[in-house]
Amino acid sequence: MRVLAALSGGVDSAVAAARAVDAGHDVVGVHMALSRTRDQFRTGSRGCCSIEDAGDARRAADVLGIPYYVWDLSERFEETVVADFLSEYAAGRTPNPCVRCNEHIKFATLLDKALALGFDAVCTGHYARVVERADGTRELHRARDAAKDQSYVLAVMGPERLARSLFPLGDVASKEETRREAAARGLSVSAKPDSYDICFVADGDTQGFLRDRLGARPGEVVDSSGEVVGTHDGAYAYTVGQRRGLALGRPAADGRPRYVLRVEPVANRVVVGSADELVVDRVVADRAVWYDEVGRLGGGATPSAGPAAEPVTVQVRAHGAPVAASVETADAGRVAVRLLEPLRGVAPGQSLVVYAGTRVLGQATVTSAERTRPAGVPAAEPADVPADLPADMPADDHAARATA
């Protein structure tokens, strides 16, 4: 096959391209230039897609002996991923830019361009497995290394694009194994640190980026009874489940920590409350993408048994734990799931991925989450308790290990 290998400049994509060469494919490397300020360098392990990364990608291609090109996709990236990031926060939601980058850039713009140029598939360094059935259709599965699994951020791609994608690192036992292989192959990126932050916010200051782009919008912070307990410079800078950075003028009556319960963009108001008020056991999501017969709804047909016909788990954060669930309703555009284990801090805008074991069944974007069981009657101790997040980091884990 003619394969276009996306070379980010990291160790994962370099080893993935090397494995594609070993498999006998005709491989060409391409680096996606996504930043409009290409003179900037990364600092430490923050960010990705810098001019430094482009140089590392070129050196990897030289070692592998494959042609190498740089494609300037910065305008498309700004119009889709960055614009979505800003509009979602402005609307009071919590987006995951890595999901949107996979949707709009790596498995839309890049893949479409590759197919137009006569390539058969795109190869990336994502950690996920593809299982091919006897009939030739393909399933997306979690990676062998659960700690590196990226099926969550890949689920948005859908079955048609999965059919044209290669993930050679899906069966790797650990990131250390990838680094050892890179070193053995003479790839200089073998010891390069992972990138943990949003690539277009290289300094890690998400709130600062939002403030620069969206401007100051002072407003009130209120508790769940409506009493004013503080102020803010922009409701867009907060996300459900956030604890740090609230700068409240008075403590809660019971002295317990307070968290963001919801963001009200029209009123420009942030509502805070106790951790118990974050507990939800039902999640509704839209823009659903389904993969197979369990939820193959692309043609508009609703399955007679529905996705609930088999046990499922759902995941709402890139590095969150999967929880048992049942699917109440599902169609081509919407899904509602009942959580058998409650969660805390599920925010509109997050990606909801439905699994059967390790297999991805579908993906959708959270629109709402609610508590249906009476307070004090949880099904179990809530999972995924929001961490003590710094003021500039949203509750959803944007750090999807973007070195792929």
- Please report how many Cα atoms fall inside a 13 Å half-sphere around the Cα of residue 194, on the Cβ side: 15
The SS3 of residue 341 is: strand
User: What stretches of 71-172 show up as alpha helix (H) in DSSP?
Assistant: 74-77, 83-90, 97-101, 110-116, 151-154, 158-162
What is the mean pLDDT of the segment spanning 313-329?
A: 92
The arithmetic mean of pLDDT across residues 82-93, rounded, is 95
The mean pLDDT value for 90-97 works out to: 94
Question: Of 42-56, 204-218, 258-272, which one has max mean pLDDT?
Answer: 258-272
| Contact in structure between 291 and 159 (CB atoms under 8 Å) | yes
Would you name the residues annotated as active-site residues? 101, 199
Residue 396 has pLDDT above 70, yes or no: no
CB 152 within 8 A of CB 351: yes
For the CA atoms of the chain, what is the radius of gyration?
Answer: 22
Give the closest residue to 269 by CA, choosing from 307, 234, 298: 234
Which residues have CB under 8 Å from 315's CB, separation 6+?
152, 321, 322, 323, 352, 353, 355
Q: Specify the pLDDT at position 382.
A: 54
Q: What is the 3-state secondary structure (H, E, C) of 283-316?
A: EEEEEEEECCCCCCCCCCCCCCCCHHHCCEEEEC
141 CB-near residues (< 8 Å, 6+ apart): 128, 129, 130, 131, 151, 170, 358, 359, 360
Mean per-residue pLDDT, 288-305 = 52
| 266 has pLDDT over 90 | yes
Contact 291, 158 (CB under 8 A): yes
Q: Where are the domains of the chain?
A: 2-191
The alpha carbon torsion through 237, 243, 246, 250 (nearest 10 deg) reads 160
Does residue 72 carry a pLDDT above 50?
Answer: yes
Q: Cβ distance 15 to 180 under 8 Å?
A: no
Query: What pLDDT is attached to residue 196?
Result: 64
Q: How many CB atoms lie within 10 A of CB 387?
A: 14
Domain 2-191 sits in CATH at 3.40.50.620
**Residue range 8-13: average pLDDT?**
95
Query: For the chain, what is the mean pLDDT?
Result: 85
Nearest to 107, CA basis, from 65, 162, 55: 162
Q: Is 385 exposed, middle or buried (0-12, 13-18, 19+ CB in 10 A)?
A: middle
Give me the pLDDT at residue 144, please.
97
Tokens of 242: 């956030």
Q: Are 312 and 354 in contact (CB under 8 A)?
A: yes
Q: Is residue 232 over pLDDT 70? A: yes
Percent of the chain whose pLDDT exceeds 90: 69
